[in-house]
Amino acid sequence: MKRRIAVLVFPGTNSEDETLRLLRDCGGEAELVHWSRAQRLTDYDAYVLPGGFAYEDRIRAGAVSAHDRMMDDVIAGAISGKLVFGICNGAQILLEAGLVPGTGPVRRPTAAFTDNGPVPHFVCRHVYMKLAIDPSRCAITAALPNDAAIPAYAAHGEGRLAASPERLQEIVAGDHLAFVYAHRDGRIDAAAVPNGSALGCAGLVNREGNVLAIMPHPERDGWNFNHLDRQEGNDVLAPSGGAALFRSFVDAVNGR
C-alpha cells in the first residue's frame, strides 16, 4: 500500500495546489490537510510544508507557524524518522521549528532565512539548485544523481540564510548544506545567488537526513509546459525538470 503524504495548509499558505498536483503526478498518495482539520495528522507517513505567507509572516517568516499545533505532530514525526519536506515558506517554518539544520533544541532556531540581500526586497527569479551533498546523505534526495541541478523559481523576500560564524561552520562541518544556487551549466558564483544567502545556501538537511528545507520552488517548473524550450519527451503535460526532486521524495516515502 502506498504511504500517505500530508500537504499542510496554514492560514496564508498559497502554493498548496501545485505542490499537491506534482506530488500526485509523481506517484505520491498526497492530500491537503487544513489547519482547522488537523486532528488526524499523526495518521500520515510524511509531511510536506508548501510555500506562502503563513500567518502573514508576522515577526519573521515561519516564526508563528513553527508554534502552530500542526507543528507538534510534524516535530514528533520528524524525531520518529518520518520524512519532512519544506519548500520556501515551509523551509522557513522548518528552520524556525529548529528541525534544520537541527543542531539546537526544537523551536530554538540556530539560523534563519531572513531579509534578502543586498536589497531587502521580494525577488522572483528562475534559478538552479545544485545538490551539494552526496545524494544518499538525505533520504529525500537519494534518487537524484550526483551534482544534480534542479530547475526552480526563487520567489521570496526572506530567503537569505543568516547565522553566526560558528553556526555557519557547524552547517558546513555537519554536511547540512544540501543545495546551493547555481547557473544552468552548474557553475557556482555570487551572480547565481538571488538573495545574498550565506554559503550560497538554497537548502538545508538535518543530521539524520529525513528533514529537507529548500527555498526555491521546483513545483513551479515541474511539468513540460513550464519549460517548453527544454521539454523532455513529447507529452506537454508530463512532469519533468523540478519534478526530479519530487519523484525522489515520493520514492523515499514509498520505501523504493
Partner 1 sequence: MVNPPASRPNVALSDDELRAIAQHLRREPSTVELHAFDAQWSEHCSYKSSRRHLKKLPVSGANVVLGPGEDSGILHLGEHDGERYGVVVAHESHNHPSQVVPFEGAATGIGGIVRDVLCMGAQVIAVADPLRFGRVERPHSHARYVARSAVDGIGAYGNAIGVPNLAGDAYFDEGFDDNCLVNVVALGIVKESEIVHSHAPPGADGWDIVLVGKATDPSGFGGASFSSVTLDSSDAESNKGAVQVPDPFLENVLMRASYRVFAMLRERGVVAGFKDLGAGGIMGCSAEIVAGGGYGADLNLDDVNVAVDGLPPEVIAVGETQERLLWVLPPELTASVVGIYNDEFTLPHVAYNARATVVGRVTQEKRYVLRHRGAIVMDVDIEFLTGRIDDELSYVEAIRHDPGHRELPAVDVEDVFPKILAHRDVCSREPLYRRYDWAVRGTTVLPRGAADAGVLAPVPGSTLGVALSVAGNPRYGRIDARAAAELAVLEAVRRAIATGARPLGLTDCLNFGNPHKPERYGELIAAIDGLGHAARELGLAFVSGNVSLYNESKSGAAIPPSAIVACVGGFRDVSRVVTPGLKRAGSALLWVGSRELAVGGSVLAEVLGIDGPLPEISYDSERAAIAIVETAISAGVMLSCRAISDGGMLTALARLAFDARNAGRRLGAELDFGNPLCEAGGFLCEVSDEGLVDVSGSLKVGTTIGEPRLVVNGTSFDVAALYDVWSKPLTEIYP
**Whether 221 contacts 153, CB under 8 Å:** yes
CB 34, min distance to partner 1, A: 7
**Whether 139 contacts 193, CB under 8 Å:** no
Helices 16-25 + 243-253 axis angle, to 10: 70
142 binds partner 1 (CB under 8 A): no
Piece of the chain touching partner 1 by CB under 8 A; list 39-47, 68-76, 170-178, 223-231: 223-231
Catalytic site residue 56? no
Catalytic site residue 124? no
Closer to partner 1 by Cβ: residue 77 or 222: 222
Residue 29 identity: E
143 binds partner 1 (CB under 8 A): no
Rounded CA-CA distance 203/47 in Å is 17
Q: Please give the residues from 71 up to 110 whose contact with partner 1 meets the rule CB under 8 A.
A: none
Of the candidates 88, 138, 176, 201, the residue annotated as catalytic is 88
Count of chain residues binding partner 1 (CB under 8 A): 43
> H-type helices in the chain, by residue range?
16-25, 69-79, 89-96, 165-173, 243-253
CB 162, min distance to partner 1, A: 20
Catalytic site residue 31? no
**Whether 126 contacts 216, CB under 8 Å:** no
Nearest-CA neighbor of 153 among 92, 221, 201, 231? 221
12 binds partner 1 (CB under 8 A): yes
Find the binder of partner 1 among 3, 4, 14, 27 (CB under 8 A). 14
Find the binder of partner 1 among 59, 76, 124, 172 (CB under 8 A). 124
Distances (CA, A) of 156 to 32, 75, 195, 213: 23, 24, 9, 14
CB 255, min distance to partner 1, A: 27
